[in-house]
Amino acid sequence: MSEDHKVKQDDRDAIIVVVNWLGTFLPTCYYPQSRCCGLEILYKIALECSLDVRLQFILPYVLQYFKDENSRVKAKAVEVAVHMFKDIMDKANLPILTATDYKVFDNYIMPEFKNLNNDPNLDSYVHHVFVSCLPLLA
């Protein structure tokens, strides 16, 4: 995002509407490639949003695809869930989390990754993507 473009409240409200619309209709997509494209759209939107929008609005929709029956969709969800926070971790001054977001990783994100890792039917492709994302999770 360029320095001269600041996200205003109207933009934030529009982003939330689009995210909710995508999150609602994405599970109805028949083809796995459509769900992967939807996850990629959510990822691109997340890169333009603040941390609280990512945590409160985008992440819940992404995490629901950890349980998808298609391995490509699961792998894409793992990739998006990790990489949408990568640019925040690279910043020198980390944003301050609100009280509601403080323990979100320990109580919400990490249990989902543990459930995924403990899945006995985990595909090797999903496992490869999961392992490749471990350094960012750490």
**Does any domain span residue 89?**
yes
Residue 83 domain boundaries: 9-137
User: What pLDDT is attached to residue 44?
Assistant: 93
**Does any domain span residue 102?**
yes
**Does any domain span residue 49?**
yes
**Does any domain span residue 103?**
yes
Q: Any idea of the CA torsion for 76, 65, 118, 97, to the nearest 10 degrees?
A: 90
Estimate the share of the chain in helix, then strand, then coil, as percent rounded to the nearest 5: 70, 0, 30
**Does any domain span residue 113?**
yes
User: What pLDDT is attached to residue 1?
Assistant: 46
**Does any domain span residue 69?**
yes
Residue in 50, 117, 40 with CA at minimum distance from that of residue 72: 40
**Does any domain span residue 4?**
no
Signed CA dihedral, 125, 117, 129, 58: sign only: positive
Token readout for 80 is 């998006």
At 16-43, the pLDDT tens digits run 888 999 989 998 999 999 999 999 999 9
pTM of the predicted model, to two decimals?
0.81
Q: How many CB atoms within 10 Å of residue 126?
A: 24
User: What pLDDT is attached to residue 86?
Assistant: 80
**Does any domain span residue 3?**
no
User: What pLDDT is attached to residue 74?
Assistant: 93
Task: Count how many domains the chain has.
Answer: 1
Token readout for 49 is 């949003």
Q: Identify the segments of the chain with pLDDT beneath 50.
A: 1-2
User: What pLDDT is attached to residue 36?
Assistant: 95
